[in-house]
Chains A and B, each alone.
Chain A
């Protein structure tokens, strides 16, 4: 944090400090004015009642509101979240591994399903399943619609995380398991995926926040979650604004706790895997998604790794752009990380390009063979 603040400006001197203090004061006054304006508006809206009136806030805050509305609603929200998380992990593992298996038919089918589920808005899936389940006659159709909709979307995100986690593992892991005589599938399931899971956990926890937030979509299909309950309470006393504020604070607090967990997790997990752990992981969102590996990680690559481990190996066009996700297999091949084609002449060119520190142009290929560093060295020795 501190470093990102100080790169753009010098440490202020006495005059700069005075200027900053003055500007701080002005900004504080402006913020205070905005807050006062909002409060005034709440106090005295045009042809409406005083929204700060205790008569409106009391029914939104008293203990009956909590026991009869908020807490049952929160319970429903957490129930759907938990079931959806468990479901999406299972879905994600199955389809993530499916996309990596040697069998091309399984790969294609898994790929098509994952890409479809990532591109369709969750709300559309929820509405579809809600109507469908009600049509078929399943009890509590809206609950299952919420769960299935969330599982399909977040499960496909987890599947992509598994895939990119395996793609980011150092090649030695795969090579070692080949040397031990495991098959490709065995190496995938026993060696690579378990480490990829550890590497993807922070991103998966970030995704947990998304699941929790998206359960609120359930209120549109009449699922009695926290949002729906607070709307019911609000329509009883005509204080929906107040009950929504309370619900929003509860949602914010729950999501905020999960976000803190996601921030703390990487430091704990870094020692348990050979794969790089993204501290600011952004889960891939949709088909054709361009940033699987977050750019923040690139900027932070020179920061020390507290628990040691293998240095991260970056793709060539990883510098400045992350547009490599859907081609990571090909990128590995082109850049000489591909264990299946180690002797490819094109490969050697690329390794040479990598060993030259500033990768500027194609001219770098002219360098003589003898200057070659050991292949697959760390391309980012800065």
Chain B
């Protein structure tokens, strides 16, 4: 028991989780914006936009996140000299956010598209019969219902994003949980199981409420048909 207390006072475990949550929030915002743009492109009447969005989603769905993160640091930063800040930590943090956001946007787009597929054909047909154009149909009829239908897959994407934020270790973000766990195990090899359980239970505590809220919201917001 005392060893747990020692470990928690010696290392900033809560701070590490806070870094992961920050990564999740910023990457989530980026992914939401990009994902909405992508899904509008994907359902639009303009075939070249559809092709671009489809290609983007296909590319990132079939690409390991780790390689994207490594690419952000070793390719984009070290070789292309693209950087967000002169401070190393801040720079790597935002590089990781960008990588996570670009990757997750593809999944947000897929989640929203599956939400659009839950809207019955009659809704779009009725909208067209009323004389609404594509933008009006999409903005006033389809997307509001699609958002309500895609709460569950979006919640899944958020959970996956929170778990994926540990991969920021590959982008040299040294303060997040997986890096801190690695460091703690290195210096306290005798308490290895305790250290793992501290972090594992931390994630369980974070993820279970997200799942419960998602379930509640998707039931509450579901369009009853």
Q: Which residues of A contact B (CB under 8 A)?
A: 4-5, 7-10, 12, 16, 20, 23-24, 27-28, 31, 41-42, 45-48, 51, 115-116, 119-125, 127-128, 131-132, 135, 209, 212-217, 219-220, 227, 231, 234, 240-241, 244-245, 247-248, 251-252, 255-256, 259, 280, 282, 284-291, 294-296, 298-300, 317, 319-323, 326, 358-360
Contact = CB atoms under 8 A, between A and B. Distances in A.
B134 A219 contact: no
B181 A295 contact: no
B29 interface: no
A212 B62 CA distance: 10
Given A241-B74, A251-B62, A290 B214 contact: yes
A288 B210 contact: yes
Contacts of B78: 240
Given A124-B177, A255-B62, A289-B211, A360 B118 contact: no
Interface in B35-57: 43, 45-50, 52
B212 A288 contact: yes
B207 A131 contact: no
- Among A8, A20, A234, which residue has the most Cβ atoms of chain B within 10 A? A8
A290 B211 contact: yes
Instruction: Classify the interface of chain B: helix, strand, loop or mixed.
Output: helix
Contacts of A131: 182, 185-186, 189, 192
A60 to B, nearest CB: 12
A139 B114 CA distance: 45
B113 to A, nearest CB: 8
30 contacts: A8-B45, A10-B128, A16-B45, A24-B48, A27-B48, A28-B48, A42-B80, A45-B81, A115-B204, A116-B204, A119-B208, A121-B177, A121-B203, A123-B166, A124-B181, A124-B199, A131-B189, A219-B70, A220-B170, A220-B178, A227-B66, A251-B62, A251-B67, A290-B214, A294-B114, A295-B150, A296-B118, A320-B118, A320-B149, A322-B152
Interface in B122-144: 124-125, 128, 133-134, 137-138, 142
Contacts of A120: 199-200, 203-204
Contact of A23 (B46, B124, B125, B169): B46
Contacts of A31: 48, 52
Contacts of B99: none
Contacts of B7: none
A24 B156 contact: no
B12 interface: no
Given A48-B79, A219-B170, A290-B218, A124 B62 contact: no
B128 A123 contact: no
Nearest to B222: A321
B124 to A, nearest CB: 4
Given A4-B117, A48-B81, A288-B211, A124 B189 contact: no
A36 B63 CA distance: 23
B125 A7 contact: yes
B121 A119 contact: no
Interface string B79-93: 111100000000000
A9 B134 contact: yes
Contacts of A16: 45
Contact of A231 (B43, B70, B79, B221): B70
A8 B119 CA distance: 11
A290 B65 CA distance: 24
Instruction: Classify the interface of chain A: helix, strand, loop or mixed.
Output: helix
B5 interface: no
B79 A119 contact: no
A24 B78 CA distance: 36
A127 B178 contact: yes
Given A251-B67, A282-B153, A295-B150, A319 B225 contact: yes
B67 A248 contact: yes
A219 B78 CA distance: 19
A120 B58 CA distance: 27
A119 B204 contact: yes
A17 to B, nearest CB: 10
B124 A241 contact: no
Nearest to B76: A241
Contacts of B118: 295-296, 298-299, 320
B35 to A, nearest CB: 16
Interface in B166-225: 166-167, 169-170, 177-178, 181-182, 185-186, 189, 192, 196, 199-200, 203-204, 207-212, 214-216, 218-219, 221-225
Contacts of A326: 215
B185 A217 contact: no
B219 A317 contact: yes
- Among B152, B167, B204, which residue has the most Cβ atoms of chain A within 10 A? B152
A121 B74 contact: no
B115 A121 contact: no
B71 A248 contact: yes
A172 to B, nearest CB: 27
Nearest to B148: A320
A286 B204 CA distance: 9
Contacts of B79: 45, 48, 51, 240-241
Contacts of A135: 189, 192
Contact of B152 (A295, A296, A360): A295
B123 to A, nearest CB: 9
A319 B224 contact: yes
